[in-house]
Amino acid sequence: MKNLILFVSIVLFYFSLTYLDNTFITTSSKIIDFLTKEYPNEVVQNYMESQKKWWWVSYATIPLLIGIKILLVSFCLNFVKLFDLPGLEKIKFPDLLSFVLVAETVFIIAGFYKFVNFYWINTDYSLEDLQTYYPISLINLREYISDEKWLAYPLQLVNLFELFYWGILAWGIWELSEQKISFPKSLSLTTITYGVGLLFWVGVVSFFILNAQY
């Protein structure tokens, strides 16, 4: 029941972020300005009409995507039980789900940070800016690093919020082991399990982006 309440709360926060983004940030005028650079007016109008018709899809997919993410991260962390270390053998999958759900709140904060940035601070933005921005990440320094499109996603992941996320995951394993292992050891286990899974995912996404360019 606790995990269900946490999951529903997280989904409601993401609903709020989606509403704020669609209403105040990714507005129709921004989308039209972006599309008219590449497509004729008829195509743009058809796209905008389909957006109005299928507006609910962005909300309907949130529970599914968040649920899959939570399960995959918990699945990766579940491999810590394979290591012969004190306290780890008692870890249960529902307990892993609990602190992964708690850790997800870090990205909700990042979402509100992004909203505040474009609504109150950087108000003169384009849709391209929205697509290539992530709070406190290396993607914001992309012009000094590389303009390769396939590097955009990896650069987005190198951010302060992801670092906090790793810290909460490591803290969760440390707590679930009843503090029988050290926090640095817990962080190492997080790197070996979740870190490897994330690296695989980044590799897959970057591969598809790279191939889409050619």
Contact (Cβ atoms closer than 8 angstroms) between residue 162 and residue 107 = no
Q: Closest by alpha carbon to 77, among 200, 192, 201?
A: 192
> Positive or negative, the Cα torsion across 45, 47, 53, 55?
negative
Beta carbons of 84 and 61 less than 8 angstroms apart: no
What is the rounded CA–CA span in Å between residue 87 and residue 85? 6
CA 183 to each of CA 57, 98, 158, 174: distance values in angstroms, whole numbers, following the listed order = 41, 19, 22, 6
Say what the pLDDT of residue 214 is: 54
* CA 134 and chain centroid, separation: 10
Helix or strand (DSSP H, E) at 191: none
Q: What is the DSSP letter of 150?
A: G
- For 103-202, strand residue ranges (E) read none
Residue carrying the six token digits 């292992």: 181
Tokens 């306290």 belong to residue: 87
Predicted local confidence at residue 39, as pLDDT: 87
pLDDT at 213: 62
Residue by residue, pLDDT tens for the chain (214 residues) are 889 999 999 999 999 999 999 999 999 999 998 888 888 888 889 989 999 999 999 999 999 999 999 999 999 999 999 998 888 988 999 999 999 999 999 999 999 999 999 999 999 998 888 988 999 999 988 777 777 777 888 999 999 999 999 999 999 999 999 999 999 999 999 999 999 999 999 999 888 888 876 5
Q: Which of 97, 211, 98 is nearest to 150 (CA)?
A: 211
- Mapped onto helix, strand or coil, the DSSP state of residue 8 is helix
